[in-house]
Amino acid sequence: MRLGVRSTVDRLDAPSAYYHSRNNKRRRNDHGRDGKDGREGDTDMADAKPEEPPEDPLRNATTLYVGNLSFYTTEEQVYELFSKCGEIKRLVMGLDRYQKTPCGFCFVEYYTHQDALDCMKYIGGTKLDERIIRTDLDPGFEEGRQYGRGKSGGQVRDEYRDDFDEGRGGLGRAIQSERMRDSERNRERDTHHEDDYGLR
């Protein structure tokens, strides 16, 4: 009787718009799923009514995408927290594509769909390693998705961030490399300067 009826308060175990909107828009078979944390202007196409999908791939999902982890958070920490919702079948840490170091996300796979839903309800939005983490239902891990999709190997969101996030490598990587170039240029200019005055 209660199935299918809208609840009088929102549910926290509903998947975010991310998966569906992506799938409806362009059928890109790309890996990873980051960019979600920093997705901008990516929400405008949800209205277009797609054809009735044959079956919701998240209906029995047992996997969760976990985002906003610190780069320093270990598997053991993830285990300790996420086991509170049920035994973990598999844990895949998200890695920097080039350096193969943690880059701030992971996939947690449970044995049952219910455990995954409970994790959405009870753990998503709480803290791990003193950061608020986010969870999203995921159709399942596939090889290759453990790597960041950003230009420099990490997650897309860490490419253009303009805040300083100590747990995620400080400033955004684009800004970092720009600053690096700037300081290099400045150093060159400075040396010329010093040479001119015969200080060297």
Partner 1 sequence: MADYDRRQPGGGSGSGYNSRKRRYRDDDEYDRRPQRRRYDAPLPVRIRKQLLGLAESPLRRWHEEVQSIAQVIADGHDDQELQTSFLDLVPQMVLEQPLKIPFVAAVVLVVNSLKPEVLDPLLARIASATEDRAKEGEWRDVKLYLKFLACLQSCLEGSGLFPVLDELFNRAVDLQTASSEDTIGTELVKIILLTIPYILAAAPSAESEQKAAELMDKTDIIASEPHALQVLIDPYHTEKGTESPVANSSLIGLLQKQLQNEASNGWPLSCLPRPWRMPLEEIEQQEKLDNAQKHALPTISLPDKVTTGPRPLFPEIYYSVYIHQDVESVPPISNIASSVIRDALLDTINVLHFNRNVTARFLIDADCYFAPGTFIKRATPFDRLRDMDGDRSSWKPEDVAVDAVFSQLFQLPTPEHKLVYYHSVLTEACKIAPAAIAPSLGRAIRYCYQNTHRLDLELSYRFLDWFTHHLSNFGFMWKWTEWVEDVNLPDMHPCKSLILGALDKEIRLSFAQRIKGTLPEPYQALIGPEKEQDTPEFKFNNEHTPFSVEGKELAALLKRKAPDEEIQPVIDRIHSAALDQAIDPLVTSTDVFMTAVCWVGSKSLSHVLACIERTKDRLLDAGAASEAARAQIITAVMNYWSAHPGVAISIIEKLLNYSIVTPGAVIDWALVGDRAGPYGQALSKAWVFELVFHTVVKVTGRLRQVVKGGVTEGVQEEITAMRELFKTMDDALSSWAQGTKDQLMDPMASDGDEDLVKRWGERWLRVFRRRSVIEEAFLNENQAPA
Q: Which is nearer to partner 1, 75 or 178 (CB)?
A: 75
- Per rule CB under 8 A, count of chain residues that contact partner 1: 33
Among 8, 51, 197, 198, binds partner 1 (CB under 8 A): 8
Q: Which residues of 2-12 are buried (b: 16+ CB within 10 A; e: fewer)?
A: eeeeeeeeeee
* Residue 51 DSSP symbol: P
Q: Which residue has the tokens 């005055």?
A: 197
Question: Does residue 44 belong to the site contacting partner 1 (CB under 8 A)?
Answer: no
C-beta of 197: minimal distance to partner 1 in Å?
Answer: 44
88, containing H or E segment: strand 88-95
Tokens of 143: 């090889």
- In order, the DSSP letters of 152-172 are TSS-THHHH--S-BGGGTBS-
Residues 76-95 close enough to bind partner 1 by CB under 8 A: 76-77, 79-81, 83-87, 91-93
Residues that bind partner 1 (CB under 8 A): 1, 5, 7-13, 74-77, 79-81, 83-87, 91-93, 118, 121-123, 126-130
